[in-house]
Amino acid sequence: MNGLGESGAGLRIVSQALDGHVPDRTPIWMMRQAGRYLPEYRAVREKAGDFLSLCYTPDHAVEVTLQPIRRFGFDAAILFSDILVVPHALGCNLSFEAGEGPRLSPVTNAAELGALRSELDPSKIDRVLEAVSRIRADLPTATTLLGFCGAPWTVATYMVAGRGTPDQAPARLASFTDPAFFTALIDRLVEASSRYLIGQLRAGADAVQIFDSWAGVLDPEAFRQWTIEPIRRIVETVRAEVPDARIIAFPKGATLSGLTELVLATGVNAVGLDWTAERRATRLALGGRVALQGNLDPLTLIAGGAALDKAIDALMEDFHGAAHIFNLGHGIRPETPIAHVERMIRRIRG
């Protein structure tokens, strides 16, 4: 499916870093690099009509995934999609209202979970996987293609609440009041997410990232139960079918000890660090074991100028000589000036 064959993979410096090598130069990509800060993205988004059409129409998904590669030459492309495709393909209603964020049919008890599909609806997922294959075929040989999914905990927070919430209280409360239901929900998501990532890897993704955007609200025991253990099982299931699968975990807001436990328990190839991470301590604890990805504060990329330069220099110094993949500590924001992205890339690549 990957028209480029294995011969090209050696050039992919993001993949090299994930394999534990220190590349000759620091690879760069940005979370949400295919997004609203780009006029060419906004043009496609307008044409597509709604957000979900963008995700499920391969022509659109391929195009917006490739846009930031064409413009900036990032070292990795990441599939344009959304973490809520998984609950959608399990049968939840899903819509994105302008300025409102996602709305799902809530799943708050065993009966509502029972009404969902047990496996992902191929009529939805196959369109995403078609986009993956086509992106890989169109990408420069040296560019790594990343697939992704949301981590079960984070996806569950949206499913239980039926929307995004400031503190993920509905899911946290459900884990206390109805642990049997909540465990079954996480189990369903572990299984579905594993199949989804296997599909993406078979369709041509060189690596996959698991986004646990709300890991930071969990106490240490809950972090083990709802972040580490589900990711561990996904990694295990995926590697049972794709033995060399490269996997990045991004448990946003995790503590250093939480990150360390996660790395040891799951065997992921890399961890993403948010902008609050203690970089040197993290490198000391984990740098020899996994690649470290991150962690420029996206607000410095809005600020630009000396604040941006200083933040980049500090980051590059902290990770100099490590298996480091430059990224933001969170997704790029729509109001970010493109000139600042260009400045960032120049500063890193010299």
Q: Which residues bind its own copies (CB under 8 A)?
A: 166, 169, 172-173, 176-177, 179, 216-221, 253, 255-257, 275-278, 281, 297, 299-300, 302-303, 307, 314, 333
d(CA 248, CA 268): 6
Nearer to its own copies, 181 or 196 (CB): 181
Nearer to its own copies, 192 or 301 (CB): 301
Which residues lie closer than 8 Å to 174 by C-beta, 6 or more apart? Answer: 108, 160, 181, 182
Active centre residues (catalytic): 32, 36, 45, 82, 158
Please report how close the Cβ of residue 307 comes to its own copies at its closest, in angstroms: 4
Nearer to its own copies, 108 or 193 (CB): 108
d(CA 249, CA 227): 10
Are 116 and 188 in contact by the 8 Å Cβ rule? The answer is yes
**Tokens in use for 258?**
């939480």
Please report how close the Cβ of residue 62 comes to its own copies at its closest, in angstroms: 31
Question: What does the buried/exposed string (b/e) look like for 313-339 if buried means 16 or more CB atoms within 10 Å of the residue's CB?
Answer: eebeebbeebbbbbbbbbbbeeebeee
Are 260 and 277 in contact by the 8 Å Cβ rule? The answer is no
Which residues lie closer than 8 Å to 149 by C-beta, 6 or more apart? Answer: 83, 86, 155, 193, 196, 197, 208, 210, 211
Q: Give SS3 for 94.
A: strand
Which residues lie closer than 8 Å to 211 by C-beta, 6 or more apart? Answer: 83, 148, 149, 150, 151, 154, 250, 252
Please report how close the Cβ of residue 255 comes to its own copies at its closest, in angstroms: 6
Nearer to its own copies, 123 or 177 (CB): 177
Nearer to its own copies, 184 or 302 (CB): 302
Please report how close the Cβ of residue 122 comes to its own copies at its closest, in angstroms: 36
Are 302 and 337 in contact by the 8 Å Cβ rule? The answer is yes
Give the sign of the dihedral formed by CA 16, CA 19, CA 23, CA 27.
positive
Please report how close the Cβ of residue 173 comes to its own copies at its closest, in angstroms: 5
Nearer to its own copies, 68 or 329 (CB): 329
Q: N- to C-terminal Cα distance for the chain?
A: 35
Nearer to its own copies, 229 or 297 (CB): 297
Please report how close the Cβ of residue 235 comes to its own copies at its closest, in angstroms: 24
> Which stretches within 275-337 are classed as H helix?
279-286, 298-303, 305-319
Please report how close the Cβ of residue 149 comes to its own copies at its closest, in angstroms: 23
